[in-house]
Amino acid sequence: MIKEGALPMDSYRLAQYAVQVPCYICGLDNTFDAELCRQCFAPMALAHQATTQKIRPRMVAALGASSAGKTVYLGMLMDMLSRQPDRIQMLARGAFSINLQQMTASALARGEFPGKTPTEPDRWNWVHAQLRMTGKKQPLELIMPDMAGEALLEEVDHPHTYDVIHPLLTKCFGVLILIDTVKLQSGSLEQDYFTMKLLSYIAELDEHPKRGWSNRPIGFVLTKADECEECFADPAAFAQSRAPGLWRQCQERFRNYRFFAVGVAGGCAYRNRREGRVRVPLRIEPRGLVEPFEWLVKQG
């Protein structure tokens, strides 16, 4: 015998799946309970949060070759902006937006650098945050991923290999491109070649004379500059002398760019481990981290 009571009909449950939610990055429709987009693997929380806010989130990206320092830079930047009381204040949207900050801070506290970002997009860390800046009444909603350098290289060499990179960079109002200062100083042209290819890829995403990438802001962040005072003294001159191909690309194809020097570790050493010699920080002394990000968001 069944007691009287209200039981939900299966048709109501199925009706929820009939309403599709478009991914905020690539636009593909997904079910309402999907955690990641089934095409580009971006968090569907970005789409849900965007629909509940009056201000549409804007997108920026931090790009660079593998081991250029993207994860360390973004993680430390978030940690600083979430704690400092003035200039720019950052408030994370969603628990997933704190993962990058937590992972970076924990690794540095152990005297290590965080590990490489996996090439699989479903394992990337995404940040959705609200920024409040001095002198601006309205806050800025910002979305920014920590993408793997190997994935960027594969996408540049073979476009549309990763379904998330092309639509993301097409929608970004600006980018930060991180370049390893230590490798430039050693005479290696690897960073120069990679950045030249990356700039060519970006320039061809949107060639509109007014709203295309030729006019969008690009900040070049020379990382690990704490090991090269010459770079801190004049980042643009350092880039011109050490990365001539990059410098010529900027001169001929872009109008709104600027060079910055940043450092996180005041000193580094190498530690022997099973996997070989590993670079570790001796002390944490952030230097110049906020300036490139502040310049970029003010351009937008």
Q: Are residues 90 and 35 in the same domain?
A: no
> Which percentage of the chain shows pLDDT scores above 90?
68
Other CB atoms within a 10 A radius of the CB of residue 203 amount to: 18
CB 184 within 8 A of CB 69: no
Residue 217 has pLDDT above 60, yes or no: yes
Q: Are residues 27 and 72 in the same domain?
A: no
Q: Are residues 192 and 224 in the same domain?
A: yes
Residue 9 lies in a domain: no
Q: Are residues 131 and 150 in the same domain?
A: yes
Where among 52, 67, 97 does a domain terminate?
A: 52
Where among 52, 70, 96 does a domain terminate?
A: 52
Q: Are residues 35 and 65 in the same domain?
A: no
Residue 86 has pLDDT above 90, yes or no: no
Q: Are residues 100 and 23 in the same domain?
A: no
Q: Are residues 148 and 39 in the same domain?
A: no
CB 129 within 8 A of CB 78: yes
The mean predicted confidence, pLDDT, of the chain is: 90
The rounded distance, in Å, linking the Cα atoms of 150 and 153 is 5
Q: Are residues 33 and 115 in the same domain?
A: no
The alpha carbon dihedral of 115, 164, 65, 295 has a sign of negative
CB 157 within 8 A of CB 144: no
Cα 190 to its chain centre, rounded Å, is 21
Residues 156-191: tens digit of each pLDDT: 999 999 999 999 999 999 999 999 999 999 988 899
Q: What is the extent of the structural domain holding 177?
A: 53-299
Residue 297 has pLDDT above 80, yes or no: yes
Residue 284 lies in a domain: yes
Q: Are residues 40 and 135 in the same domain?
A: no
Residue 10 lies in a domain: no
Domain count, the chain: 2
